[in-house]
Structure 1
Amino acid sequence: MPEVPLIRDSLKDIYANNLNSDHPTNKHAGLLLDRGFLKYDENQSTLKSDFINKLCQTESSSLYINEFIRWLNLTKDPQNPEKPSRFCQTLFSLENRLLIGLHGASALETGCMINHHNGMPYIPGSSVKGAVRHWARKHLSDELEKIWIKFFGSNPEDTDNDPFSGLVTFHDAWWVPNSAPTASSKASNKRTKSQPFINEIVTTHHLEYYSNEGDTKASDLDDPIPNALIGVHGSFLFTLEGEKPHTDIVKILLEKTLKESGIGAKTSAGYGYFEDASNDLKNRVAILIHSDNETNKEQSVSPALKYEVSQLRESKIIKMFSQDRGSTKKREDYEPLCKLIGEQFYELISQWETETQKTSKNRFRAYGILKDYLPEAKNND
């Protein structure tokens, strides 16, 4: 088959420039997946994999980070007994990779569930609900069905004149910014934590057998056919909505589902299984919520500053307020920066109190600046 163009000539340069951009945050993976594959040529077998490799270089932009922080704070638990939250948030990290939305209509003959607005991966709430419902039906006794069915609503196959949607709403799961694991191999050492997509190769060894639903016998002489797919790695924020007694139960079912059955495509091959998020990730996400409750009352804190502080490590904080203290003090957001760091890293910074010029000069200098921004300093005043 000769080369087949898949897009008008007048648009080729626009999509090609976006795909090959030197700024990964400027790429929109969803738009590229739908319209960015420029041509098909069966004589160039690497066209598909090369395209997917470039698409997988996409990084989360500041727009997505701001959206994530906004969603996080809109669905947080205000910890107010008088006004209990209807939302329940929980974090889980992928053990391996996730394949979701493979059957999306595309010239690539593969797909990925990507938000059309921000170009980042997500897990549809309907998929989460279906997976949890399937786990409950498979593992819970028939006697309990009348109870758990209330959480999910009427069975899809039921011809009920009065269908019921369920007591719990399953919202889309958001990919957590900067949660992708970095590769340790030299061939992939350019990957960053802000790249959610990764090229996956799934090899079909018996194409005719699977294409003909087993009518053609499989043979050891069949040629293996590698197929490039778009995988996702990292962590996701899952959000449930409903009365607390209901969401507490469904949260347990959700955890069982993600850990024991997985979600998405090819779970039998190990894809789509989750594990508990690390304490480090939970703390980083907690900073984004906690800062909105306290510091924001006194002085406006931008989402960008919240996110910056959530990514800080001890070595970076020490450097900012010792070797780089001059440039740090020149920042326009210096005061809210110090307050936010003091609030979120109180226990860490308090440990530097005993440091001296001889034991750790840089910690000594950093503590001299940040001690006035620790919560206990305000109380002492």
Structure 2
Amino acid sequence: MSIVILPQNTLEVWERLQREQTKLHAGLLFYRFIEVDSAKEFKYTDAGLELVCRRADTQSAAALLHRQQNLVSALQKQGFTVDTWSQDLLTRMAAGLGIASITENGIVIDHIHGLPYIPGSILKGISQDYALLYEYKVGTDTQKRRKAKKDSSFVAVFGAQTAEPGENIAKFEDRRGGVIFLDAVLERWNGPSPFEVDIMNPHYQEYYSNEGGTPPADYLNPNPIKFLAVKAGTRFCFGLAARDTNIQSTVFGSSQLINQAKDWLVGALKTLGAGGKTRVGYGISGNAIQKPKK
């Protein structure tokens, strides 16, 4: 028997919305209303997870994209240089797996519109990883970061970042990055929904859970775990904003910062990927599709 653990009045509204075939909010479905099975220690049901993937509200997607466009216009009026473009996912994306949920794996969903997006913090992080990987090739990760913090062009984009042990944190506020990484919002997708159900299937759970106390062997049972991912082919709209920035007595123009940050971000999206499970090919995007200048 599948049940939804909700207050009675909320349950009545939920059941009515299901009967009316309303386009339900994917975030509420996944994080609040997903069905569980009382006979299986209240584990989520496959039907509950698949319900999230049935359809998405195109009006909400248009509203979210319009809000992003308004933000870009507002930044331009404030004197920022802004660049926007689109990229299509070549592989599935799993951003937000660490978010707590009944399914054991979460996903990043816009709280208002119920659609997937890529937070600017993720985009800034992978851009910095890409820059460190390809611009500072020699040394350990710690040595690369220390060298990068002395590079005014790196600091002009990302800022000096958090102080490492032994570093003097004085004047870190004066070394703030000059580029704003906007959230990447949904532009279009294939089929009724940008979501689909994916699966990971660890075969040696006992071996990993007790730190090797049980040897891996063929007689151990696999443990299939289903989770939500964003479909390959889904298109996101990306954006960067910047102002002229003075770092260590060197002035960096906003256009120069935008071009450098975009090179690093597009490179990261095409090679490193965004979100989780990137080591096995998730979150890889294709070439940038430039937006027409207004």
Q: TM-score, normalised by structure 2?
A: 0.78
* Residue in structure 2 matched with residue 308 of structure 1 by the alignment: none
* Residue in structure 2 matched with residue 59 of structure 1 by the alignment: 56
Does the Cα contact within 8 Å between 2:34 and 2:49 map onto a contact in 1? no
Q: 1:217/1:16 Cα in 2 relative to 1: closer, same or farther (>3 Å)?
A: farther
Q: 1:206/1:87 Cα in 2 relative to 1: closer, same or farther (>3 Å)?
A: same
* Match for residue 149 of structure 1 among 141, 155, 174: 155
What CA distance in whole angstroms lies between the structure 1 residues aligned with 2:105 and 2:212? Answer: 23
What CA distance in whole angstroms lies between the structure 2 residues aligned with 1:105 and 1:166? Answer: 31
* Match for residue 127 of structure 1 among 122, 128, 131: 122
Deviation at 1:29, TM superposition (A): 0.9
* Residue in structure 1 matched with residue 251 of structure 2 by the alignment: none
What CA distance in whole angstroms lies between the structure 2 residues aligned with 1:163 and 1:48? Answer: 49
Deviation at 1:269, TM superposition (A): 1.7
* Residue in structure 2 matched with residue 14 of structure 1 by the alignment: 13
1:274-306 C-alpha deviation (Å, 9 max, x unpaired): 11256xxx6xx75xxx8xx6xxxxxxxxxxxxx
The alignment partner of 1:132 has SS state of helix
What CA distance in whole angstroms lies between the structure 2 residues aligned with 1:264 and 1:20? Answer: 35
What CA distance in whole angstroms lies between the structure 2 residues aligned with 1:157 and 1:205? Answer: 41
* Residue in structure 2 matched with residue 235 of structure 1 by the alignment: 235
Larger Cα Rg: Structure 1 or Structure 2?
A: 1
More helix by share: 1
* Residue in structure 1 matched with residue 246 of structure 2 by the alignment: none
1:320-350 C-alpha deviation (Å, 9 max, x unpaired): xxxxxxxxxxxxxxxxxxxxxxxxxxxxxxx
The alignment partner of 1:237 has SS state of strand
* Residue in structure 2 matched with residue 48 of structure 1 by the alignment: 45
* Match for residue 91 of structure 1 among 86, 93, 99: 86
The alignment partner of 1:13 has SS state of helix
What CA distance in whole angstroms lies between the structure 1 residues aligned with 2:264 and 2:198? Answer: 29
What CA distance in whole angstroms lies between the structure 1 residues aligned with 2:148 and 2:36? Answer: 54
Counterpart of 2:72 in structure 1: which amino acid? T
- How does 1:165-176 map onto structure 2 within 5 Å? 165-176=176-187
Matched, 1:29 2:26: yes
The alignment partner of 1:52 has SS state of helix
The alignment partner of 1:221 has SS state of coil
Does the Cα contact within 8 Å between 2:103 and 2:226 map onto a contact in 1? no
The total of aligned residue pairs comes to 265
Q: 1:161/1:64 Cα in 2 relative to 1: closer, same or farther (>3 Å)?
A: same
* Residue in structure 2 matched with residue 180 of structure 1 by the alignment: 189
- How does 1:1-381 map onto structure 2 within 5 Å? 6-18=5-17, 22-23=21-22, 26-41=23-38, 43=40, 47-72=44-69, 74-75=71-72, 86-141=81-136, 142=144, 146=151, 147-158=153-164, 160-164=169-173, 165-176=176-187, 179-181=188-190, 191-192=191-192, 195-233=193-231, 234-242=234-242, 243-276=254-287
Deviation at 1:102, TM superposition (A): 1.4
Deviation at 1:154, TM superposition (A): 2.4
Gapped regions of structure 1 (runs ≥ 5): 182-190, 294-381
RCO comparison, higher one (Cα < 8 Å, 6+): 2
Counterpart of 2:97 in structure 1: which amino acid? L
Root-mean-square deviation over aligned CA pairs? 3.2
Deviation at 1:235, TM superposition (A): 1.1
Moved more, 260-269 or 30-39: 30-39
Counterpart of 1:98 in structure 2: which amino acid? M
What CA distance in whole angstroms lies between the structure 1 residues aligned with 2:132 and 2:37? Answer: 43
What CA distance in whole angstroms lies between the structure 1 residues aligned with 2:56 and 2:115? Answer: 9
Deviation at 1:76, TM superposition (A): 6.0
Identity %: 26
